[in-house]
Amino acid sequence: MEFNFKDQRISLDTDSQTAVLDKVATRLRNGEGFALATINLDHLVKLASLPEFRKAYARHDIVVADGRPIVALSRMAGRTVDLMPGSDLILPLCWVAASENVAVALVGSTDMALADAARALKQYVPGLNISLCLAPSGAFDPDGVEAGAILDQLVRAKTGLCFLALGAPKQEIFAQRGRGLAPRVGFVSIGAGLDFLGGHQRRAPKVMRRLGLEWLWRALSSPLRLGPRYVKCLLILPGQIVQALRLRVGRGG
């Protein structure tokens, strides 16, 4: 599946979750950095209007489907992909990091949320080495001096895997900058995933997630903040469906 914009093309990884985890394990084992993004409808909305976001996203090594609409669009285009929300990837990736004996860093959110998330992760994954927990300032700029200092800390701590909870587009732009300045670090953008782990945000019940209604749960939990975001997501769906069907026809599907 490809998402085409006027100046960039973003390709969705069609590997299974198991294959993606194997790919990450190989890179960690070989000391090769990477940037992994989890694309969803909100990202598509932002990608359409933010050139710097498009540029960063297009240069990611791995892009997976975060949300059932992305999975559905891929199927319309004739490609089957696994659903891999960033929040659901954290524990599997930590198990990979522990097995490969690489240090993990948590960047984003707040000091308290990171401390609670680190405590939870160590309980779930015995032997996990969390070397850094860094909560940037409220004025964090992924292209700024503070971001450069964080990347320097990651390098000096010999970090292998770094979870970014900075929100889009900051986390993806920061990850792409890190590919140049911290080339041995694997960056994974996971949004609110660490807040969920530390209990600072409540995730939708499993039954709602299975039904594909996590978006509704989040919208109802914060209607003023998230309501307009989901309206924008719904508005772009018709165009994305047309694009997906064109891709299917183009492949002879």
According to the model, what pLDDT value does residue 103 have? Answer: 98
Band of residue 229 on the pLDDT scale cut at 50, 70, 90: confident
Question: Span 75-98, mean pLDDT?
Answer: 95
The first and second tokens of residue 117, run together, are 């998330």
Q: For 133, phi and psi rounded to 5 degrees?
A: -130, 110
Residue 130's pLDDT band (boundaries 50, 70, 90)? Answer: very high
Question: Does residue 224 surpass a pLDDT of 80?
Answer: no
pLDDT at 211 over 80: no
> Phi first, then psi: what are they for 110, rounded to 5°?
-130, 165
Q: Is the pLDDT of residue 135 over 80?
A: yes
pLDDT given for residue 222 in this prediction: 78
Q: Whole-number mean pLDDT of the chain?
A: 92
The DSSP output letter for 165 is E
Quick one: average pLDDT of 20-46?
A: 97
**What amino acid occupies position 93?**
L
205 pLDDT band, cuts 50/70/90, is confident
Q: Which residue has better confidence, 169 or 209?
A: 169
Listed in sequence order, the DSSP H helices in the chain are 17-29, 41-49, 51-58, 68-76, 86-100, 111-124, 145-156, 170-181, 193-197, 206-210, 214-221, 223-250
Does the pLDDT at position 213 exceed 80? no
Tens digits of residue pLDDT in 88-114: 999 999 999 999 999 999 999 999 999
What's the chain's length in residues?
Answer: 253
pLDDT band at 248, cuts 50/70/90?
confident
Residues 183-199, mean pLDDT to the nearest whole number = 92
Strand 159-165 relative to strand 103-108, pairing = parallel
Bridging pattern class, strands 130-134 and 103-108: parallel
Residue 190, pLDDT score: 95
Q: Residues 189, 190, 194, 200: is their CA dihedral positive or negative? A: positive
Per-residue confidence band for 199, with pLDDT thresholds at 50, 70 and 90: confident
**Sheet of strand 186-189: strand arrangement:** 62-65, 34-39, 186-189, 159-165, 103-108, 130-134
Percent of the chain whose pLDDT exceeds 90: 76
Helix (H, G, I), strand (E, B) or coil at 130: strand
Per-residue pLDDT, averaged over 139-155, amounts to 97
CA distance 90 to 85: 9
Residue 3 has pLDDT above 70, yes or no: yes
Half-sphere exposure of residue 220: CA atoms within 13 angstroms, side-chain side: 9
pTM of the model: 0.93
Please tell me the distance from the alpha carbon of residue 40 to that of residue 25, in angstroms, as a whole number.
24
